[in-house]
Structure 1
């Protein structure tokens, strides 16, 4: 008995519409990858252009199988380039460009401010890589959480404390012990500035020649510039140090965007970047947002 030949409609039939397509592929492919010496769950969009007008479709299974090599070794820029090369080689008669987008959460252990405690923080990230005959592109996006204290709110709180001080001590001789006790009381410190959890999203375009994806370098540079990164496990001395950092480091969203901008200018191997910061207001029902960019052009 002859073996049954299964039909391959994408290859055996032709399109009568004659329209090339910019991108055809798959979205949301679940895949574990190795990053920073750990396994990370990611979801991948992978595709190629369909430049042959009468071709019915691409070979999606070839793209899917090519992604398997991402499981086998550390995720690096050369490895992503290798996968894109395989996309194009396997579609040499159909496609002139290829791309993939990989999304996941990178886990890094971060120390407390003063104590020996520490814990894991998740940093959502995204890698986008594309290739065609004229150009190649690789961008890295990273989200970083931090705390921000409003400078305006801090000034208003200080004014209220001064007002309370005048009410309590106007015309009186002050003793050091009295003032010390007053400063430590809730009666004296009648107002506190408002702070909010905030998010900075960094998107950078990597120069050719990059090997490692600089996730850790970017987050450490940005967190150092901001000064109030979110904490994990803490003791009271860490919480007090965090309160001190917020009190001495108030910032509008504009301040935060500029700090990160200047910090990224010092990072080697970037062709351009875009920064977006969001302060999720604790006073208002809306968010405060600022964006900055250097040598940037929008990506697909």
Structure 2
């Protein structure tokens, strides 16, 4: 059956569209896992292309076709191939893809060594044209901080809080999510754990007390480590503490 291709018809308004495509696709993906080789998770995916001014519309179904053809292993090293397929199949000069997903890591409690799963919210963003590609990895890591000022001025105790350290890195080569998580966790007063027994609670409480940090300290600690990583060309660091004694959050941001 010969059906009319309306999307490919000429448009006379002479206005290109910077991004057109499909958004908020819920889709199972398989990621590379540093310790277990592969990890299955669920992503929210956005896929776009630049639409030239002379096309009326894009072919939305082709985005899903490309996704289906690459479903078995979505990893950073394969993103460039997907971008090129989007450009070729949709006659586009530029293409974009964004994947938002939870990434799970098994983590042992510090004393009892009981294992439990921690989830980390991650985003992979990539865009490219016929000549080049840019790739970004964002990892959001829950952390603990203990206030140095509170410790200094109090006769006993000090207030602490849970926070989020967010690292967004532009990659020159492959970087494990686990590496980014380790950089953030090791830069704070203490880690966050899913499961702690009483000996573990004692340990993390005392570790944080012995390692007080402002959001400024944590952001600077992360920055020092990222600056030494040759796999990363550009990055931003955000640290936000959900204050336990104030009705506001503490925040720090660094860009390099």
Would you say same fold, with TM above 0.5? yes
Runs of at least 5 residues in structure 1 that lack an aligned partner in the other structure: 159-190, 295-300
Q: 1:27 aligns with which of 13, 23, 30?
A: 23
Contact 1:222 1:263 in 2 (8 A): no
Structure 1 position 151, deviation (Å) = 1.0
The answer to whether residue 250 in structure 2 is matched with residue 288 in structure 1 is yes
Aligned-residue CA RMSD (Å): 1.4
1:43-62 correspondence to structure 2 within 5 Å? 43-51=44-52, 53-62=53-62
1:69-80 correspondence to structure 2 within 5 Å? 69-73=69-73, 75-80=74-79
Number of aligned residue pairs:
251
Structure 1 position 265, deviation (Å) = 1.8
Match of 1:199 in 2: 164
- Who wins on radius of gyration, i.e. which is larger? 1
Match of 2:63 in 1: 63
Contact 2:107 2:117 in 1 (8 A): yes
- Structure number with the higher helix fraction is 1
CA distance in 1, matches of 2:78, 2:5: 31
CA distance in 2, matches of 1:268, 1:219: 17
Structure 1 position 6, deviation (Å) = 3.6
The answer to whether residue 236 in structure 2 is matched with residue 271 in structure 1 is no
Match of 1:17 in 2: 13
Q: 1:259 aligns with which of 221, 230, 247?
A: 221
Match of 1:85 in 2: 84
CA distance in 2, matches of 1:15, 1:89: 20
The answer to whether residue 148 in structure 2 is matched with residue 151 in structure 1 is yes
Q: 1:229 aligns with which of 175, 178, 191?
A: 191
Deviations 1:211-266 (A, max 9, x none): 4x420111112212224110122222111110111111111110010011112122
Structure 1 position 197, deviation (Å) = 0.7
Runs of at least 5 residues in structure 2 that lack an aligned partner in the other structure: none
Deviations 1:50-82 (A, max 9, x none): 12x221011111111101133212x32231111
Q: 1:110 aligns with which of 107, 112, 132?
A: 107
TM-score, normalised to structure 1's length?
A: 0.80
TM-score, normalised to structure 2's length?
A: 0.93
Contact 1:118 1:234 in 2 (8 A): no
Contact 2:236 2:253 in 1 (8 A): yes
Match of 2:200 in 1: 238
